[in-house]
Structure 1
Amino acid sequence: MSDGESREYLRHTKREPLFNLPAIVIALIGICVALQLLQDYIMSPRSQLELLIRGAFIPIRYSGYYIVDIYAFTTPVTYAFLHGGLTHLAVNMVWLAAVGTPLANRIGALRFVIFWVVCAAAAAGLHYLLHPTDDTPLVGASGAIAGMMAATPRYLFRVNRYSDKPAYAGPLLPLITSLRSPQVLIFIVIWMGGNLLIGLLGTPGMSNSIAWEAHVGGFVAGFLLLGLFDRAPATISPYT
């Protein structure tokens, strides 16, 4: 690379700060953190239990043994805002900032929220299909984040690094093309393998079991459905 090319490359890379979180990502992180702090330092044990019943996704709720209430319709989404402790929260929020930032900048705040909802619901849906009578509450944003992770190889770093566009603003890789791409397939295999290992071995500092199957549901939804939320490259502006 010549000196001129180096200067041009550095000039453009400076336009993309490493931590320039969109407002919607900050808002989601803020909600998750606030709920965890409320549980840990303010709410009574009884109030914590009530929050878990009304906010967590519990498969057996849909078994027919219980009256269907409003929470049967809200918990497939609200569970993603609750976490099993500070370690669980911290891990998920770091990943949300990392993979949510480029996606939010690409598709905008409203589409990002809907994408979050869809991936969270897909994660809960697969978890239910595999564990329909389980009474263990499912909590955590990792299903929704898995969907954001799956979206990454379909758009990130698909622009000329010397152009004025940020790395997330390139053209969307078509679904069929993605499934034929060795790089994308390797990414999927590595993610699936890592997810399985985490599910089987657990994560240091986290005593609760990990619903790795739910992650798969969110991942598949994010990978397949990104095109429904994407904006045309010409309409994408940096740091929205």
Structure 2
Amino acid sequence: MTRSSSQTGRTDVYRALKDAIQYLDLMPGSVLHEAELTQHLNCSRTPIREALIRLSGEYLVEIYPQRSTYVAPIDFHLANEVAYMRHLLDSNVCLLLCRQKACISEAVEQTLYFMERAMGKDDVLEYIRLDNAFHRTIFSVAGHDLIWSSIANSRAHYNRVLVLDLKRPGMLQKSYQEHLQIVSSIEAGDAATLTAVMDVHHDHQNTDAREKAIRAQFPAYFSND
């Protein structure tokens, strides 16, 4: 979380806390102390409490009155539901552009350049932010900015799994190559290749094996559901 030089507004507090949780700056199971958060975010306790209640409603925070407030453990079911929703929407938008053989290289060229640099540095958080920028551009080119906003607002649970997933050996490289294939297959009008890539890109299939592998490496971060 970044400390503000001036009094932080309610929306900024909520976004800062949500980003810290979804990108694992605040790890699952961490105790959230209001006094520490008010000092770190340079705000009063009221926006902190409001943000925590809001995040509790999104299943990202667990509040136990008269006891403590914790960052919720990662729920694979919620993460997989978001991944599947994103797969359906993302695939349809990409196939729409594929049928048009849309020229998207120029629109995503800079983002891909920085994604490659982030991959080279094993900078998972920067890579994920650039990944979001890549797909946001795809939706924008297709004229579906509103749909992307809906996806972005609901993907916190997916992001928490994604951070851990991309820390596994070879996963950044796999993801980057898939992005290159998405661009090339859209521009070539190759729907078959695009569909094959999209079927693995969001990892909505073979979720049991993926969950087992991530749980084995990071067992303390997950719910037991």
TM norm. shorter chain > 0.5: no
TM-score normalised according to structure 1 size:
0.27
